[in-house]
Structure 1
Amino acid sequence: MQGSYSVIKVVPRSVEDVRFLQGLLQEHTFKGIDVWKPPSRVDSPVAVSVAPEILPVLRGLLTERGLEPKITIPDVQKEIDKQTIHRILQLTDGVTFDYSQYHKLDEINAWTKNITSVYSSLASMFQITTSYEGRPVYAIKISSTNSSASKPIFFFDGGIHAREWISPATMMYMTNQLLEQYGKDVQVTRMVNEFDWYIVPVFNVDGYDYTWTNDRMWRKTRTKHGICRGVDPNRNWDFEWCKQGASKDPCSDTYCGPSPFSEPVVKGVADFIKGLGSDVKAYIDFHSYSEVWMSPWGYTRDLPKDFDMQDKGSIQAVDALKSVYGTTYDHGSIANVLYTASGSSVDWTYGVLGIKYSYAVELRDKGEFGFLLPADQIIPTGQETFKALVALAEFVFNNP
């Protein structure tokens, strides 16, 4: 599908520029455009993947407006090929799991089974729900025996948007670190002893599988609603559902669905988290890309009553993250640092369940590669994000 698509970036310099871009890029104005990062505010880069026949037209309209479009990825398909071809060359021996490469869903499921077997004294695997197409959604529980029966819970998931491959890759890396470093690293050991950890490596299993078999840039689930397939699983949660930052068009990448929790994977995970009760003290939904650590709200730019403490947690996380490779993350509420999005997981976990420390994290990078982050950045991303995760866990534990 992507062929010789290109990704272009443009930076709006005024409110009028933002409005112009929003009108220009609204759904169905152009066919052959995939919005990677939508126009939201002044000085925030906008990124779109553009079909070759549309590129000169779009560049002309932008230039006429006085904007300066820049091509950041000349050939999207070439970058996709780099990820998959390099991976095939690297995985010929099949001896050990390679955290430095992206993996298909069946390989991730096999890894889940294997790692919980290797670390059976700490970890267990279970099916959290079933997808629309009948695939199991697996989760991992990590719990040490050196603690009381009832502990606070830290829950995190990845891959809610199918094309964001760095997210499941980072989930796996961090899970391995929690297990491997237990009993070796003092801080990690303390955090595993103090929390029960629940991890969903791949949330949107149907969509993720589809990115490997059909369309690398697919974002949504694979349910059938009207003439188009898929719902944005991060617009489908039953809190401020389908308001600003979501679409009622079934063909849109931000389609909220015909009703809240219409998506089996969303309802299944939500029901499970709700069933854990008040023990859940922190929730993180890992995405890509933009390098931002965000707290509620997504549906409005107004700040919630707990924002100061939430943001202090974000600061602890991003400071720890920066200490590894110098990667600088922004932080703040979702609607203020990224864009408005209603019906999101984080707004639901905070607004409905009252999980104060609810976060959405956009991993590497800031847009050079976007959703096509090269595999050689998986390990560095995992290392710095794990440092942030442990720092945040310590903050949450000390500031209930």
Structure 2
Amino acid sequence: MVVLSFVGLFLLVAFGIDVNAYKSYSQHQLWRLNVTTDEQVKGLTDLRRKAYEFNINFWSEDIRINIPVDVSIGPKSIRDLHEYLSLNKINYDVIMKDIGSMIDGQKLLHQFRPSNLIANDFAYDKYHPLDEIHSWIDTMVQTYPSLATSFIVGQSYENRTIKGLKISSNKQVMKRDGTPINKKKAVWWDGGIHSREWISPATNIYIAYSLLSNYGKDATITHFVDQFDYYILPVFNVDGYVYTWTKDRLWRKTRSKTSNPRCFGADPNRNWDYHWCEAGASRDPCDETYCGSKAFSEVETAQVAQFISDHGDTIVHYINFHSYSQYWMSPWGYTTTKPAQFKLQDDGSAVAVQALGAVFGTKYVHGSIATVVYVSSGSSADWTYGKVNITFSYGVELRDTGKYGFLLPEDQIIPSGQETLAGELALLRYIEEHVYEKDF
């Protein structure tokens, strides 16, 4: 018999929290659960809805048969979760025995490890807090004045600036046959929509720097900087990202107030006004996938959406970078039904994945969001495609596949940037052929 709740297994523990302290993950463990039956899926799905009450966090949003499910557990819940899994015949492996020591060790490495790639006083092989990233944007504008400008999307809930970098050359866009094109198309890439996914801002930053520093030196990069304008938002969820540096390394959501005074923020990738809060999203303010009180309730998603809409006549390619799992995905997320242009989109994913994998052998899976991972409504990629008609809209889950998860070490930043750049250049070639050379 499958046990579907923690009744009888857990006692709720009331404890005080120092709101000014950095959250400790000492003795927290990361387990990988091996799900083999529909009953186990149902039981874990029921558990997931209230897991936060027991200091349990599902790092994996997808719960399906034969798909690994990564779960972090506070020390007081380890024994009870083991008993629950044993009763339900769910096998598991311990991936990290002490998440806290992993976080602390990475902090020390960040402070004392010398950088191997510094330019303009910025270390590209290290993670950076928000103020350093915004200063980097200013430095790029100063260093490459003919190519780089900054742009402001708006202000966050906590009144932080949502700031991006635009890359654009003044060259006339030409078709391959030499025919001039009147209107240059644009690309949008963003990272850090989920604040704990530090590799996504770092990868965006590396790619942006590669485009700027290699313009006029590398023929392929020069070509694509001439062919497209680039709007790059390294950190989307600025409040949440600052919170991961100052209070809780594994915080995911925004930082807005909710109807529950104990719980803050919404999932900014469930808050978009396209099939908002249907399957794959929660109405519980304490849940990690809380969709918000309404579509675009979060000022960050509303302002990014407005900015993209204002430039929707030029933007033809969108990527929302995440971690982790190594997936390159296209719409739809809200349903497993494929859109009419799925083959066109997925063929682009295949091109990107092949080029990415050729660099270091990193394996990515591609397909639609709902079929590759899970059904998730109200996502950015669905909205950009469904509402703004950005055909080449994608959600990309970067490294790794679970060994480190959201705590990807800094020595993987440069490799992630190099292989993702290779994938993007191949995808841009594919998009160029369809946007400038063909009707679609």
TM over 0.5: yes
Q: Structure 1 residues 161, 387: closer, same or farther in 2, change over 3 A?
A: same
Residue 178 (structure 1) shift: 0.8
Task: Determine if contact 1:40/1:338 at 8 Å carries over to the other structure.
Answer: no
Shift in Å, 1:29: 7.4
Is 1:235 matched with 2:260? no
Structure 2 letter corresponding to 1:263: E
Maintained 8 Å contact 1:21/1:39: no
Residue 276 of structure 2 aligns with an amino acid whose one-letter code is W
The residue aligned with 1:172 is 205
- 1:106 maps to 2:141: no
| Paired position in structure 2 for 1:151 | 184
The Cα offsets for residues 9-50 of structure 1, whole Å up to 9 and x where unpaired, read as 012123332222212322247511011003432211101110
Structure 1 residue 96: deviation in Å?
A: 2.2
Q: Which residue does 1:42 correspond to in 2?
A: 65
Q: Which has the larger radius of gyration?
A: 2
Cα deviation 1:179-224 (Å, max 9, x = unaligned): 1111122211111111011100000000000000000010001111
CA shift, 1:150, in A, is 2.9
Q: Deviations over 1:149-181 (max 9, x none)?
A: 731111110000000000001010000011111
Q: Secondary structure at the match of 1:322?
A: helix
Report whether the alignment pairs 1:298 with 2:321. Answer: no
Given that residues 137 and 205 in structure 1 are in contact (C-alpha distance below 8 angstroms), is that contact kept between their aligned partners in structure 2?
yes
Q: Is residue 2:50 matched to residue 1:15? A: no
* Gap change, CA 1:194 and 1:95, over 3 Å in 2: closer
- In the alignment, which residue of structure 2 is the partner of 1:123? 148
Q: Distance in 1 between matches of 2:411 and 2:194?
A: 21
- For residue 330 of structure 2, what is the amino acid of its counterpart? S
Structural mapping, 1:331-346, within 5 Å: 331-346=366-381
Larger mean CA deviation between 147-156 and 379-388 belongs to: 147-156
Find 1:184's aligned residue among 217, 233, 236: 217
Matched, 1:71 2:94: yes
Partner of residue 87, structure 1 = 110
Aligned partners of 2:191 and 2:234 also within 8 Å: yes
How many residues end up aligned between the 2 structures? 400
Hey, what's the Cα distance between the residues in 1 that align with 2:102 and 2:162? Answer: 28
Q: Contact conserved, 1:22 with 1:39, CA < 8 A, in 2?
A: no
Distance of aligned partners of 1:140 and 1:95 in 2 relative to their CA distance in 1, 3 Å threshold: closer
Partner of residue 204, structure 1: 237
Alignment of 1:22-41 (within 5 A): 22-28=45-51, 30-41=53-64
Give the residue type in structure 2 aligned to 1:23.
Answer: D
Q: Distance in 1 between matches of 2:378 and 2:46?
A: 23
User: Does the aligned pair in 2 maintain the 1:18–1:39 contact within 8 Å?
Assistant: no
Q: Which amino acid aligns with 2:171?
A: N
Distance 2:149 2:119 in 1: 24
Amino acid at match of 2:425: V
Write the distance in 2 (CA, Å) between the matches of 1:116 and 1:11: 49
How much has 1:94 moved relative to structure 2? 11
Q: Secondary structure at the match of 1:37?
A: coil
Letter in 1 for 2:69: V
1:51 aligns with 2:74: yes
The one-letter code sitting in structure 2 at the alignment partner of 1:374 is: P
- Equivalents in 2 of 1:170, 1:94: separation in Å? 16
Q: Secondary structure at the match of 1:47?
A: strand
Contact 1:5 1:76 (8 Å CA) reproduced: yes
Deviations 1:327-352 (A, max 9, x none): 00000011111111110000000011
Q: Confirm whether residue 218 of structure 1 aligns to residue 251 of structure 2.
A: yes
| CA distance in structure 1 between the aligned counterparts of 2:194 and 2:413, rounded to whole angstroms | 17
| Distance of aligned partners of 1:262 and 1:30 in 2 relative to their CA distance in 1, 3 Å threshold | closer
Moved more, 94-103 or 222-231: 94-103
Pick closer, same or farther for the CA change 1:368–1:28 going to 2, 3 Å: closer
1-structure distance, mates of 2:398, 2:120? 29
Aligned counterpart in structure 1 of residue 313 of structure 2, from 266, 269, 278: 278
**Residue 321 (1) aligns with residue 356 (2):** yes
The TM-score with structure 1 as length reference comes to 0.97
SS at match of 1:260: coil
Map Cα deviations across residues 243-277 of structure 1 (whole Å, 9 max, x no partner).
11111111111111111111111111100000013
Give the one of 368, 382, 388 matched to 2:417: 382
Q: How many Å apart are 1:91 and its aligned residue? A: 6.5
Query: In structure 2, what is the Cα distance between the partners aligned to 1:43 and 1:64?
Result: 19
Contact 2:27 2:75 in 1 (8 A): yes
Q: Return 5+ residue gaps in structure 2 as ranges.
A: 1-22, 174-181, 436-440
SS of the aligned residue for 1:53 comes to helix
Does the CA contact (< 8 Å) of 2:196 and 2:252 recur in 1?
A: yes
**Cα distance between partner residues in 1 of 2:61 and 2:199:** 20
Whichever residue aligns with residue 211 of structure 1, its letter is T
- Of residues 276-285 and 148-157 in structure 1, the stretch that sits farther from structure 2 once superposed is 148-157
The residue identity in structure 2 corresponding to 1:62 is: L
* Partner residue, 2:161: 136
In 2: Cα distance, 1:216 partner to 1:29 partner: 16
**Letter of the 1:3 counterpart:** S
Please state whether the residue corresponding to 2:95 is helix, strand or coil: strand
